[in-house]
A and B are shown apart, each in its own frame.
Chain A
Amino acid sequence: MSARYVQVTCSMVERVAADTERYMSLLSVRQKLVASNIANADTPGYHTKDINFQEEFQNAISGTNPTVVETQGLYMKNDGNNVNMDREMRLLSENDMRFSLASNLVRSELKSVRLALDGGGSQS
């Protein structure tokens, strides 16, 4: 009986959670790249790295590692470095907010499942 409950719960959570997990994973990868860009803001010859977020999210099912590309169209400094600190700081906080949104989504999903298991909280 309880095993069945767990199974039902899992499949309920999984639908939304799988997409959100992918989303959060991509955000984590992007966060690492942003951190690399910031760390190398003064490294001669370093080129800004990023992932194509939309495209990688569309590839959700394949489960492959996202492709890292060099961001084009940024101003190149004399030392061959094109890290734009304003862009990186924007991405840093943007990633943070997106991650916050996704984790809140998962949390509310878990909360509603828990609520259903509790019978709408009438018993407690």
Chain B
Amino acid sequence: MSSSLFGVFSVSSSGMEAQRIRTQLLAENIANAETTRTPEGGPYRRKDAVFTTINPEQPFSSVLDAQMDAMSGVAVREVVVDQSAPQRRYLPGHPDADKDGYVSFPQLNPAQEMVDLMGASSSYQANVAAVSTAKDMIQRSLDLFR
């Protein structure tokens, strides 16, 4: 019977990695909330990570474990770019204004990004808690030898 607690580390670290990528994208969104010019042309577009389940990398021989299927890590499957129409603001003096005097701004709400950021942060913490608990359990098993 497979009972290696070490598998928890790969699962939780995949969770931490995914949440970290999400946090990076959210930070990028917040930083570019007012960006009107990008290399692709037009205003900045909001990015979001889409998560998917994966089989985590297994340490050592447990690759053969039947239990492996039950465990699932997480990974960022793709980064979706928001395709909604940009927000138009009337700023005739702006260098990026069109002929009618409107400037295209990114269609994103910083408050929403902040809420998502809090979610990502607490999910990251939950993964850290799972690692720490598994670590304690392994440590207590090892303590039986003493």
Known A-B contacts A42-B119, A43-B51, A65-B66; the reply to A36 vs B72 at CB < 8 A is yes
Number of contacts between A and B (CB, 8 Å)? 122
Q: Mark A55-90, 1 if CB is under 8 A from B, else 0.
A: 000000001111010000000000000000100110
User: Chain B's nearest CB lies how many Å from the CB of A17?
Assistant: 10
From A25, A41, A95, give the contact of B3 (CB < 8 A).
Answer: A25
From B11, B18, B52, B140, give the contact of A35 (CB < 8 A).
Answer: B11
User: Chain A's nearest CB lies how many Å from the CB of B77?
Assistant: 9
Interface residues on A, range: 35 or more
Q: Mark B65-97, 1 if CB is under 8 A from A, else 0.
A: 011001111100000000000000000000000
Instruction: Provide the bound-state CA to CA distance between A36 and B71, in Å.
Output: 6
Residue positions of B touching A, CB distance < 8 A: 1-5, 7-8, 11-12, 14-15, 18-19, 22, 50-53, 66-67, 70-74, 119-120, 122-123, 126-127, 129-131, 133-134, 136-137, 140-141, 143-144
Shortest beta-carbon contacts, A-B, top 6: A39-B15, A25-B3, A68-B70, A28-B3, A43-B51, A35-B130
Residue in B4, B15, B53, B70 whose Cβ sees the most chain A Cβ within 10 Å: B70
User: Chain B's nearest CB lies how many Å from the CB of A71?
Assistant: 13
Residues A97-122 near B (CB distance < 8 A): 99-100, 103, 106-107, 110
Instruction: Provide the bound-state CA to CA distance between A44 and B7, in Å.
Output: 23
User: Chain B's nearest CB lies how many Å from the CB of A42?
Assistant: 5
Q: Is the interface of A mostly helix, strand, loop or mixed?
A: helix
The reply to whether A40 and B141 contact each other, CB–CB distance below 8 Å, is no
Instruction: Provide the bound-state CA to CA distance between A93 and B133, in Å.
Output: 7
The reply to whether B141 and A24 contact each other, CB–CB distance below 8 Å, is yes
Determine the chain B residues whose CB is within 8 A of the CB of A65 once the complex forms: 1-2, 66-67
From B1, B5, B126, B141, give the contact of A32 (CB < 8 A).
Answer: B5
The reply to whether B143 and A103 contact each other, CB–CB distance below 8 Å, is yes
User: Chain B's nearest CB lies how many Å from the CB of A23?
Assistant: 11
Determine the chain B residues whose CB is within 8 A of the CB of A85 once the complex forms: 122-123, 126
Known A-B contacts A96-B136, A103-B140; the reply to A44 vs B51 at CB < 8 A is yes
